[in-house]
Amino acid sequence: MIYANYTQAELDRQYDAASTVPSLEPFLERYRSESDRTRAEFPNERAAYGSHEREWLELFPAAKPDAPLFVFIHGGYWRRLSADVFSFVAGPVVRAGGACALLNYPLAPAASLDEIVDAARRGFAWAADNAQSRLNASPERIVAGGHSAGGQLAGMIAAATQVDLRAVFGLSGLYELEPVRRSNVNDWLHLPDAAAAERNSPAMHVPRGKPAVVAAVGQAESDEFRRQARVYADACTTAGLEARSLEAAGHNHYTIVLELGDPASELTALLRGLLGLSG
């Protein structure tokens, strides 16, 4: 067995999110079309936080000052996609009176995971430092979140930031990277050893301060993806944080994030509550 009770083929299958759906394209097309509509509806701008061509944030400011801010980090298994594919996440937040910043970052394999984590932390710091001037938001009312690889990055941000986060909100995140390192995901992630996996595992580096923590996952996702959510929530609970994992009924790895584009969904209502938004 390569990890726990899994053979190599079984472990690879556990972390092959794309194999759980017939095709990725319908989901990506919907992400892009809904994101186009969101950018057309709400004022937004792009701001660089570093010198790399992928080090930028897409900013959706709040209509009124001192609003809560949701910083969202996109997925794509650390190797593909970009923040503007997920602009739709900003819609319900801004409509309810909040602000949203979508964080873009360099991709593997050109960038190591250590470099990606460093970029995400710098991007988040820029958003917090510029919350009032560029987003009409309060730096004391920030929720960090992300989908898939973005969930891992949100967790690593929460472990190091000096900002007192209100909450960490992960969807289908990867929080314990040793099994990921042992799977074929490492063909592009290139984690060199167990120490690198541990260094970048949010379950081993829980958030500083006292943020609430939500680790959500689709009920139709693999056993390992569902376990990852439980592991992170359990680690945070053990550290004394208010944390929980939940499984979204009827959702796979790609539909769960679409819930954040729906103002009537349960996950959006949960996010609004974490942000302190009423509707």
pLDDT at 37: 98
Instruction: Say how far apart CA 10 and CA 26 lie, in whole Å.
Output: 26
Query: What is the residue whose two structure tokens read 């726990």?
Result: 4
Total count of domains within the chain = 1
- The secondary structure of 254-273 as a DSSP string is TTGGGGGG-TTSHHHHHHHH
pLDDT digits (tens, 9 = 90+) for 195-240: 999 999 999 999 999 999 999 999 999 999 999 999 999 999 999 9
pLDDT at 250: 94
Indicate the residue type of 176.
E
279 lies in some domain: no
Instruction: Say how far apart CA 268 and CA 259 lie, in whole Å.
Output: 7
133 lies in some domain: yes
pLDDT digits (tens, 9 = 90+) for 71-100: 999 999 999 999 999 999 999 999 999 999
Torsion from C-alpha of 119, 120, 124, 126, nearest 10 degrees: 20
Percentage of the chain modeled with pLDDT above 90: 99
Q: What is the CATH number of the domain that holds 63?
A: 3.40.50.1820
190 lies in some domain: yes
Residue 279 above 70 pLDDT?
no
Q: In which domain, by residue range, is 33 found? A: 8-274
Report phi then psi at 206, rounded to 5.
-70, 165
268 lies in some domain: yes
1 lies in some domain: no
Beta-carbon neighbour count of residue 30 at 10 Å? 15
2 lies in some domain: no
3 lies in some domain: no
